[in-house]
Structure 1
Amino acid sequence: MLKLSQLKNISHLPDLVLCPLDSWDLIRVTGEDRVSFLQGQLTCDLASLKPGEQTLAAQCNPQGKAWCIVRVIVLEDRILMTQPSSVTEKQLPELKKYGTFSKVEIGKETEYQLFGLAGCKSAKYIADKVDTAATHEQSRLLENGIVIKQPYPSLRYLIVLKNQQATELIEDLKDRATVFDDSLWNAMNIAAGIAFIEKETSALFIPQMLNLQALDGISFSKGCYIGQETIARAKYRGANKRALFILTGRASSAPKAGDNVQVLLNNNWKRVGTVVSGCQYGDGHIEVLAVLPKDSGSDDIYQIKEIEGSTLYYAPLPYSLIEE
């Protein structure tokens, strides 16, 4: 299994890539109250989603700080949430705490597996082996799971299938595809400007600091949910002064979640933000998602405090932060 350090840059991505996503969890919520329960827990409008649809969302504490960012997936008989495994030890007990008051069952999913597929031939493989129409839709509900097209960069899909079909497909792919660990998937999420929280940064940021409003992960018109007051105040009173940015440059190693970002001001380094996720390609360049002041300048020079000699610069997001 290859690592991101063995890929020079994203332009050198093989035609067909399998990412097993071993450091990600699938959380399952079942029971007759699953929609109403999660409607009161997550920032998205879950009640508006039909089976086969999905969205990003945050689960927050009462102060509006995000325990985690999840991709919510609605199936016929359950709701699934994908997230990095490291944050589950903090997030899952918080979710279960409120679940005692509803007719729901919450836990790690055991009947389904998830994996990523990427590369210019990934769509053809899905059309040939999974479902012909799955590559033409944002998400496609299947008899045994779901296929979700992922945003920039490259062509890539998140696939969730029942165990038997997933195992058969993965075994077939091992003979046809180049297999990378999920450091590649992390790098693709960084390039897409999508932050998934690790345990080191859990409950540090409100969702708008992670640009979730720009990714359709926050509903400002649905009813109450945990943390809503803070999140609404940030929108309507302009209380939030921070946002998620992409930084790129050179460093001796990949920045880690929770590392400190400094900016060069008047020949001195000043701490201005926090790394949410970081990666390093085989050519030595790094890419980082960091929470910084909204007014951070595109010409500023940054460094990671914990990595001596690192130098980073602003890189544009693939979406707009301008709110209508």
Structure 2
Amino acid sequence: MKPAWLDFLKDAGAEIENNKVVSFGNLEREHRMVHTGLVICDLSHHGLISIDGEDTADFLQGQLTNDVRDVSLQHSQLSAYCTHKGRMLANFRVFKRDDSYFLSLPQSLLESILKRISMFILMAKVTIKDNNDALIKIGLSGPKADEQLSNIISDLPTETDDVTQSNGYTIIKCAGTLPRYEIMGELEAIKKIWGQLDVNAAPAGADAWETLDIMAGIPTITPETSEAFVPQMTNMHVINGVNFQKGCYTGQEVVARMQYLGKLKRRMFRINIESDNAVIAGDKLFAKDSTSGQGTGQIVNSQVDPDGGHIALAVIDIADAEAGSLQLHDENGPAITVHSLPYSVE
């Protein structure tokens, strides 16, 4: 986290651990506000990889699951980076600012992804680097997010994944059960807009943004689940994170075979876990009568539910999910209830 931004957040009341905002002093209130209120979040726990050079679009086209040719100054996209076996090493948002492409992904995966993707540059005229200090990233969500933001920036994106570039800001409209935006800019610009939004929005920690992603059915691959899933298992093809017509990329053969020739036996569901104990990415699920040879499923992302227990996204054997009687860890574990996602999955 940029030192000057870190100092700014501390002055605003942020409690910070390992360069991540834990809360602004009242974690329970933040968990409740995120479901219905107007909240503003620091997104420094999302790292940035920048890619520059005349061959950038062609290079990324051969690496990522989505069609990079659709990324422009006016449109971003979700995408994933896979192994040759089609397993996701990471997923992220791809966007442009000026002449640079950016990948926004968890800081915990940035170093490993940067190292791996750099191995494939070969003769391409491309420069890839950790550009975390280039931009400050914040998020705004809530019933009146459109209204509050339009009072400051008149040109806002109107459709999910669309982008506007205005007065030094890059603004991305994100999927969500409430209006939601990511805002990026240089330090002084973000300090200014934070102060303007803070008048009506409640500051919240990093977990609040992940809660919003869970509610929206948007998965985030972490070190605990890297290489665990093909994209379709986490509904990436449903949320416009995979393009099946784009041509070859690393892992494309496996991903395409799953789409056209295979039968998807597990996919991502939203669940509630009746436990106040920590639930973390990678935790296993259990179903007593499961016939799956690969296990019932595992947690993708999880956060505290203010109404009790935890809200989570989990990849689950479809037959087990439909049968119910799911538990965390084992037959003595907390009960799990499956809930609907805000989008349909065929």
TM-score (norm 1): 0.90
Letter matched to residue 253 of structure 2:
E
Q: CA deviation at 1:308?
A: 6.3
The one of 214, 222, 225 aligned to 1:201: 225
Report how far residue 218 of structure 1 moved: 0.9
Give yes or no for the alignment of 1:28 onto 2:50. yes
Does residue 261 of the first structure (1) align with residue 285 of the second (2)? yes
1:91 corresponds to 2:113: yes
Q: How many residues align?
A: 317
Displacement after TM superposition at 1:170 (Å): 2.1
Q: Secondary structure at the match of 2:221?
A: coil
Q: What amino acid is the match of 1:149?
A: K
**Which range moved further: 256-265 or 302-311?**
302-311
What secondary structure is seen at the aligned counterpart in 1 of 2:151?
helix
1:177 matched to 2:201? The reply is yes
User: For 1:43-84, what per-residue CA distance to the aligned partner results, in whole angstroms no more than 9, with x for missing partners?
Assistant: 001113332211111011111111101111123301111111
Offset at residue 119 of structure 1 (A): 1.5
CA deviation vs aligned residue, 1:171-197 (integer Å, no higher than 9, x gap)? 333444211111011111111111110
Q: 2:144 corresponds to which residue?
A: 121
Structure 2 counterparts to residues 143-222 of structure 1, below 5 A: 143=166, 144-222=168-246
* Matched residue SS, 2:220: coil
Distance 2:331 2:147 in 1: 41
Shift of 1:13: 3.3
Q: Alpha-carbon deviations, 1:238-286, whole Å to 9, x = none?
A: 15422111111311224101111112439xxx94111111111233231
Query: In 2, Cα distance between the equivalents of 1:118 and 1:79?
Result: 25
- Answer yes or no: is the 8 Å Cα contact 2:270–2:311 preserved in 1: yes
4+ residue runs over 6 A deviation = none
CA gap of 1:75–1:7, structure 2 versus 1, over 3 A, is: closer
- 1:272 aligned residue: 296
**In 2 relative to 1, CA 24–307 (structure 1 residues): closer, same or farther, beyond 3 Å?**
farther
Contact 2:44 2:136 in 1 (8 A): no
- 2:129 pairs with 107, 114, 119, which one? 107
Q: CA, structure 1 residues 308+42, in 2 after alignment: closer, same or farther (shift >3 Å)? A: same
Offset at residue 30 of structure 1 (A):
1.1
Q: Which residue among 47, 54, 59 is the counterpart of 2:69?
A: 47
SS at match of 1:129: coil
Higher relative contact order, structure no. (Cα contacts within 8 Å, ≥ 6 residues apart): 1
The change in CA–CA distance for 1:11 and 1:85 in structure 2 (over 3 A counts) is closer
- Over the matched positions of the two proteins, sequence identity in percent amounts to 29
Stretch moving more, 98-107 or 79-88: 98-107
Q: What is the alpha-carbon root mean square deviation over aligned residues?
A: 2.3
Q: Letter of the aligned partner of 1:246 in structure 2?
A: R
User: Deviations along 1:28-48, whole A, 9 cap, x unmatched?
Assistant: 111111111100110001113
Q: 1:77 aligns with which of 99, 121, 124?
A: 99
Secondary structure of 2:47's aligned partner: strand
Partner in structure 1 of residue 36 of structure 2: 13
Counterpart of 2:112, as a letter, is: K
Distance 1:239 1:134 in 2: 40
Tell me the CA shift for residue 98 of structure 1.
Answer: 1.2
Partner of 2:7: none
Matched residue, 2:336: 312
Q: Does the CA-based 8 Å contact 2:30-2:205 persist in structure 1?
A: no
Tell me if structure 2 keeps the 8 A contact 1:52–1:140: yes
Kept in 2: contact 1:75–1:141 (CA 8 A): no
Partner of 1:303: 327
Using the alignment, how far apart are the partners of 2:331 and 2:155 within structure 1? 46
Q: Give the alignment partner of residue 85 of structure 2, picking from 39, 60, 63.
A: 63
Cα distance in 2 for residues equivalent to 1:87 and 1:5: 28
